[in-house]
Amino acid sequence: WGKPIEFIFSLLGYMVGLGNLWRFSYLCFKNGGGAFLVPYLLSVAVFGLPMYIFEIAIGQFTQQGKLNAWDRIPIMKGYGYACIVMTMMSIVPYMLVMAWGVIYLYHSFTSNDLPWTVCDNQWNTQSCISYKHSILEVKIFKNPLTMTTNCSLPRYYVLRLPNEQDSIYGGFNWPMLICLVLSYLSIVAITIKGIKSSGKVVYISATLPYLMIIVLLIRGLTLDGALNGISKLLIPKFEELANTQVWIEAASQVLYTYAIGFASLTTFSSYNNFNNNFYRQALILVPVGAFTSLLMGLMTFSYLGHMASVLGVNVDKILKSGPGLIFQVIPLGFSLLPLPQLWSVLFFGMFYFVAVDSVVCISSTLKGANNCQCSWTILYRPTHFMLSYINLCCHKMLTRLIQQSGIYIFEFIFYYGASGIILLLLALCESLSVGWLWDVNQFAIDLEKMTGDKLSLWFKLCYRYFIPAITSSIFLFYCAKWTPLKVGDFVYPVWANLLGWILSLCSLLWIPGVFIYVL
**By mean pLDDT, which of 16-20, 309-313, 466-470 is the weakest?**
16-20
For residues 423 and 505, give the distance between their C-alpha atoms in angstroms, rounded to a whole number. 12
Poorest-confidence range of 48-52, 248-252, 320-324, 474-478?
A: 320-324
Q: Tell me the residue ranges of DSSP E strands in 117-263.
A: none
Burial class (CB in 10 A: 0-12, 13-18, 19+), 23: buried
Spell out the residues 6+ positions from residue 513 whose beta carbon is closer than 8 angstroms to its own.
78
Judge whether residue 79 has pLDDT over 70. Answer: yes
Sequence ranges of the domains in the chain: 4-116+156-518
Q: Which residues are annotated as a binding site for Na(+)?
A: 13, 16, 20, 357-358
**Does 249 score more than 90 pLDDT?**
no
Q: 73 with 432: CB under 8 angstroms?
A: no
Residue 174: is its pLDDT beyond 80? Answer: no
**Residue 146 predicted with pLDDT over 50:** no
Predicted pLDDT at 92: 76
**pLDDT of 273:** 93
Higher pLDDT: 489 or 284? It is: 284
The HSE-up count of residue 77 (CA atoms within 13 Å, CB side) is: 21
Between vectors from CA 491 to CA 489 and to CA 495, what angle results, nearest 5°?
160
Q: State pLDDT tens for residues 105-135.
A: 888 888 777 877 777 766 666 666 666 666 6
pLDDT in tens, 130-139: 666 666 555 5
Residues 102, 356: contact at Cβ < 8 Å?
Answer: no
Separation between Cα atoms, residue 63 and residue 294, nearest integer Å: 34
- Mean pLDDT, residues 190-217: 80
Run of H or E including 486: strand 486-487
Q: How high is the pLDDT of residue 382? A: 47
Whether residue 370 is predicted with pLDDT greater than 60 in this model: the reply is: no
> For residue 387, is pLDDT > 80?
no
Query: Among 97-101, 144-148, 236-240, 278-282, which stretch is predicted with the lowest mean pLDDT?
Result: 144-148
State which of 408-417, 425-434, 470-479 shows the largest mean pLDDT: 425-434
pLDDT tens for residues 148-166? Answer: 444 445 555 666 565 555 4
When pLDDT is averaged across residues 195-214 and rounded to a whole number, the result is: 80
- Average pLDDT along the chain: 80
Q: How confident is the model at residue 379 (pLDDT cuts 50, 70, 90)?
A: very low
The CA distance from 233 to 293, in Å, is 12
Alpha-carbon torsion (193, 179, 114, 405), positive or negative? negative
What integer is the mean pLDDT of 298-317?
82
Model pLDDT, residue 400: 56
Q: Tell me how far the alpha carbon of residue 439 is from its chain's centroid.
A: 31
Residues of 463-492 as b/e, b for ≥16 C-beta within 10 angstroms?
bbebbbebbeebeeebeeeeeebebeeeeb
d(C-alpha 19, C-alpha 195), whole Å: 24
Give the pLDDT score at 172.
64
- Cα separation, 2 vs 5, in Å, equals 9
> Cα separation of 443 and 435, whole Å?
8
Q: Look up residue 402 and give its DSSP letter.
A: T
Place 367 in a pLDDT band, splitting at 50, 70 and 90. low
**Could you tell me which of 497, 427, 483 has the C-alpha nearest to residue 82?**
427
4-116+156-518 fold:
Amino acid/polyamine transporter I (1.20.1740)
Burial label, 362 (beta-carbon count in 10 A; 0-12, 13-18, 19+): buried
Contact indicator for 326, 75 with CB cutoff of 8 Å: no
| pLDDT score of 133 | 64
Q: Which of 11-20, 154-163, 223-232, 356-365 has the highest mean pLDDT?
A: 223-232
Most confident of 24-33, 40-49, 238-247, 249-258: 40-49
Range ranked top by mean pLDDT from 23-27, 183-187, 460-464:
460-464
Greater pLDDT, 305 or 156: 305
Stronger pLDDT, 24 or 464, i.e. the higher one:
464
Of the segments 73-87, 370-384, 399-413, which one has the largest average pLDDT value?
73-87
Q: Which residues contact 327 (CB under 8 A, 6 or more apart)?
A: 100, 104, 154, 158
Of the candidates 177, 170, 110, 121, the one whose C-alpha atom is nearest the C-alpha of residue 150 is: 121
CB atoms within 10 A of CB 189: 11
Of residues 326 and 383, the one with the higher pLDDT is 326
Average pLDDT rounded to a whole number, residues 331-337: 78
Which contacts (CB < 8 Å, 24+ apart) does range 396-399 have? 397/92, 398/92, 398/95, 398/96, 398/180, 399/177
Tell me how far apart the alpha carbons of residues 329 and 324 are, in angstroms, rounded to a whole number: 7
- pLDDT at position 70 is 92
Residue numbers belonging to the annotated binding site? 13, 16, 20, 357-358
Q: Best-predicted range by mean pLDDT among 52-61, 110-119, 173-182, 312-321?
A: 52-61
Mean pLDDT on 80-88: 88
The answer to which of 124-133, 236-245, 377-386, 464-473 has the lowest mean pLDDT is 377-386
Q: What is the pTM of this model?
A: 0.85
Q: Is the pLDDT of residue 319 over 80?
A: no
pLDDT recorded at residue 100: 83
CA angle centred on 72, ends 66 and 74, rounded to 5°:
90
d(CA 305, CA 316): 10
Better-scored residue on pLDDT, 213 or 169: 213
Instruction: Calculate mean pLDDT across residues 397-409.
Output: 62
